[in-house]
Chains A and B, each alone.
Chain A
Amino acid sequence: MIDAKTTTPAKTKASRFSLAQRRTIVGYIFITPFILGFIFWFLTPALVAANLTFQKWNLISAPRYIGFQNIERLFNDPILLQSLKSTLIYTFASVPVGLIFAFFLALLINTQIPGIAIFRTIYFLPSIVPAVAGALLWAWIFNTEFGLLNAAIRALGGAKIAWLQEPSWAMIAFIIMSTWGVGGAMIIFLAGLQGIPDVYYEAADLDGAGRWNKLVNVTIPLMSPVIFFNLIIGFINSFQVFVQALLMTNGGPQNSTLFLVLYIYRTAFQSTNMGYAAALSWLLFFFLMIFSFIVFKVLGNRVYYEAPGN
């Protein structure tokens, strides 16, 4: 049905265009949705944001150009400094912890014992729990008086912890919560592990390599592209942490969980300072760019790629 419509114009064009030209036309037809989307939802908003950075606008009165004031404010905003600090601490703690845990779980479930599918499912499920539902659940687990975690700590003889009321404990609480949801990274690691040909391990056996040796000298080098992939995804996601901070602590205590996206959200939609929110968005953009660049430069070269054909 679709062919009937599309063949006719293609056939008439055949007489007017060369094969290469026709291929170019067809190629561009295929990628047109992306090109339009890029212009509408990426390039245009980026320009709007650039323009907005030089304005003061609260959505109600008319926008007013204020020069570089918003950008100057970026450099002496103590709340922003705290927000950046929190975001970086969270990222640099939760991503490595999460990756190591995900890798470890992937090694555990990469076995052929009866019922292994059940374990895989149990480990994976937390990662698909909606963030809102997860935030409610963990807010309750971390509850100081009646929460499950403090009940366990007290049963073991410890003192209860004010998880979401103490700045440093709140950060640890967020890291624990994110570690619970590493199932996605784990499944990707598992797929990678299953793609490692047995011959490598057989060769290592012949050399008398032990388990630790095989892990360090065979598995990890061969998994480096997957580790790299999960690392990037992990960083991008943790830079955007928002829902849990909004619902569990609302940025507190003492702004210790006022992560960057939450700060942007507040500036834009609660203080309705659109200009400064745009400036903050640009800052987040530059952070992600610099960050991806460093990761690619530093780690990109060390990542081991097997010859293609797999």
Chain B
Amino acid sequence: MALRKVSNKPGSEKAWHWFTIFLLFFFAVLMFIPFLWLLTSSFKTQNQIFQYPPSWIPNPFRPGNYVRALTYKPFALYFRNSMIIATLNVIAVVFTASFCAYGFARIRFKGREFWFGVVMATLFLPYTILIVPNFLIFTKLGWVNTFLPLTVPLFFGGGAFNIFLLRQFFRTIPEELADAARIDGCTEFGIYWRIFLPLAKPALITVGIFTFLAAWNDLLGPIIYLRSPDKFTVAAGLASFRSQTDISWDLQLAAATAMTVPVILLFFFTQRYFIKGIVMTGLKG
């Protein structure tokens, strides 16, 4: 907004422009400092970490922290586990949430409003309120210490929030497109699969990224359901790292950086769709 309009006072406009740029830099530095601190500290020796005043340049430079941190616990295995869970979650959400969303958005049937009301009612209820009973149910099913509690539930609709977002998106696609396909003899499933899914690509990518991040970053689910260390996710592994006081800060910070890198890479590779998707899914209100 700040630079939107040219006023009739060019002098003040120019000052405002530089003031905005100053603010942009100021907050960029403020937001970036923790990252930089994490990154440089992860290459320091334990001695240099416990040094006052702190210094920014690691000396000596210790990339070996990463090797030690990531082999101290089987992080390759944790990484694989996290990847399996996150990938299954993404598949579940992309296909089942869009499937349900199509029904809510494009088919007029009795009871639709009621069930969509149920979606809306559960929209703002976090899964944390049900961790205790769900734990008992998964215990009864014999699912504790498997990936099932962290993956199977999402195959049932993929979460109210995702259904809601994709429904909003599907409603913006012109009905003529579906009608043309119907005349050609396409079924509703065909219209969903051949027309709506391809058109929804940016929205699906956005929902997929959010799902991946949520699964990758989740700690509560893994520490409740995964008991044996060989089932741990990266988040659970890193948390157990933290609770063992014998592990030094240099290794903790190296492992924390290593856990953050995949997330940042994912963001950079999908950035284009990401922002577009947020706009398209009607999140803007």
Please report A residues at the B interface, Cβ cutoff 8 Å.
Answer: 2-3, 6-7, 10, 20, 23-24, 26-31, 33-38, 40-42, 44-46, 48-49, 52, 105, 107-113, 116, 118-119, 121-126, 128-133, 135-138, 140-141, 145-146, 148, 151, 154-155, 180, 187-188, 191-195, 198, 201-202, 205, 211, 214-215, 219, 223, 225-226, 228-229, 232, 236, 239-240, 242-243, 246-247, 261, 264-265, 268-269, 274, 277-278, 281, 284-285, 288, 292
Distance (whole angstroms) from the CB of B197 to the closest CB of chain A: 11
Distance (whole angstroms) from the CB of B118 to the closest CB of chain A: 6
B60 within 8 A of A: no
Q: Please, which residue of chain A has its CB at the minimum distance from the CB of B233? A: A132
Query: Known: A34-B157, A34-B163. Is A136-B53 also a contact (CB below 8 A)?
Result: no
Give bound CA distance, A226 to B285, whole Å. 5
Chain A residues with CB under 8 A of B54: 146, 148, 151
Chain A residues with CB under 8 A of B53: 151, 154-155
B153 engages A123 (CB within 8 Å): no
A108 engages B130 (CB within 8 Å): no
A-B CB proximity, top 4 nearest:
A30-B103, A37-B156, A27-B109, A34-B157
Give bound CA distance, A242 to B235, whole Å. 13
Q: Please, which residue of chain A has its CB at the minimum distance from the CB of B130? A: A45
12 A-B pairs whose Cβ atoms sit less than 8 Å apart in the complex: A3-B193, A41-B134, A45-B130, A48-B133, A128-B213, A130-B263, A132-B239, A145-B50, A187-B278, A188-B284, A191-B283, A281-B132
Give bound CA distance, A202 to B185, whole Å. 49
Give bound CA distance, A154 to B54, whole Å. 12
A225 engages B285 (CB within 8 Å): yes
Please report B residues at the A interface, Cβ cutoff 8 Å.
Answer: 1-5, 7, 16, 20-21, 23-24, 27-28, 31-35, 37-38, 41, 49-54, 96, 99-100, 102-104, 107-112, 115, 118-119, 122, 124-126, 128-137, 153, 155-158, 160, 163, 186-190, 192-193, 213, 216-217, 219-220, 224, 234-235, 238-239, 242, 249, 252-253, 255-257, 259-260, 263-264, 267, 271, 275, 278-279, 283-285
Chain A residues with CB under 8 A of B125: 285, 288
Please pick, from A52, A111, A191, A223, the residue contacting B136 in the complex, using a CB distance under 8 A: A52
A132 engages B219 (CB within 8 Å): yes
A34 engages B130 (CB within 8 Å): no
Give bound CA distance, A213 to B104, whole Å. 41
B249 engages A140 (CB within 8 Å): yes
B107 engages A44 (CB within 8 Å): no
Distance (whole angstroms) from the CB of B51 to the closest CB of chain A: 7
Query: Known: A23-B108, A46-B130, A108-B23. Is A187-B275 also a contact (CB below 8 A)?
Result: yes
Q: Please, which residue of chain B has its CB at the minimum distance from the CB of A148? A: B37
Please pick, from A2, A23, A41, the residue contacting B153 in the complex, using a CB distance under 8 A: A41
Query: Known: A37-B156, A192-B284, A229-B283. Is A148-B33 also a contact (CB below 8 A)?
Result: yes
Give bound CA distance, A94 to B279, whole Å. 26
Please pick, from B99, B129, B279, the residue contacting A30 in the complex, using a CB distance under 8 A: B99
